[in-house]
Amino acid sequence: MVNKNLFERLSALGFPLFETEQTRDANATLADVVKSKDLRLWEGFPVLLDSSAKKGTFNYDMVKEYLKKPVHKSYLASLMVMSLALYKVLNLKFSWADRFYKSLPGDRKKEFTNFLERLEKDEDLVVANHVMSSQRLKSTFNNYFGLAQSKLMDLLSIKEEFDLEYSLSQVFSPKQKELFLKKLRREKLTKTEKEYFSRVVKKKVLALANPELHRLSQKLLE
């Protein structure tokens, strides 16, 4: 049975079965996942591996050091190979994964080929004598990957919004910026707002839209 402490550490690697703010040692957590033999966690191993590798905290040799039993080290090797095969099927390329694959002995490369073929056919895998579903592996990783991409897009969107707000503030007064955005969103302006926009704001907009002014501004910033 997997203890709660392990579940708490998993969230630090991007697999939040339980929410936590604590930062844990990634390699020790990966080792505990390997030793758990819990298929739910093994299905999430590619997620944890990808997350820790992106954070620069993954070290294969260190994970092995936490695994004292040869059988656990064998489990780790199989889970690593399974993860590489999954990345391959999902068309994900990681430089560290390529380097790890090249270091594999012949029998592990054969295992990789077997996993790859079964994943492509959506057939069950036998990972360290445990049957695992290809579809569940793909679904678990895609859910995580989709969430990560969504968070990234949200972050970029927020950054772009702040950048725009800052730039507008350098050119327009608060009232002028408000009218600029209302006009952009095609919101209805009052008669007074229309007159002010036409008399003041529009002149600034025309200046900003002037391609020659834009070119000169870019030149000054070089």
E-strand spans in the chain?
Answer: 125-127, 130-132
DSSP helix/strand/coil, 206: helix
Beta 130-132 vs 125-127: how paired, if at all? antiparallel
Q: Let me know the angle formed at the C-alpha of 112 by 136 and 41, rounded to the nearest 5 degrees.
A: 35
pLDDT digits (tens, 9 = 90+) for 156-201: 454 555 556 667 777 888 788 778 877 877 778 888 888 888 898 8
Contact by Cβ (8 Å): 27, 53: no
Contact by Cβ (8 Å): 87, 79: no
pLDDT digits (tens, 9 = 90+) for 63-122: 999 999 999 999 999 999 999 999 999 888 888 888 999 999 999 999 999 999 999 999
Q: How far apart are CA 157 and CA 153, in angstroms?
A: 6
Q: Is residue 22 pLDDT above 70, yes or no?
A: no
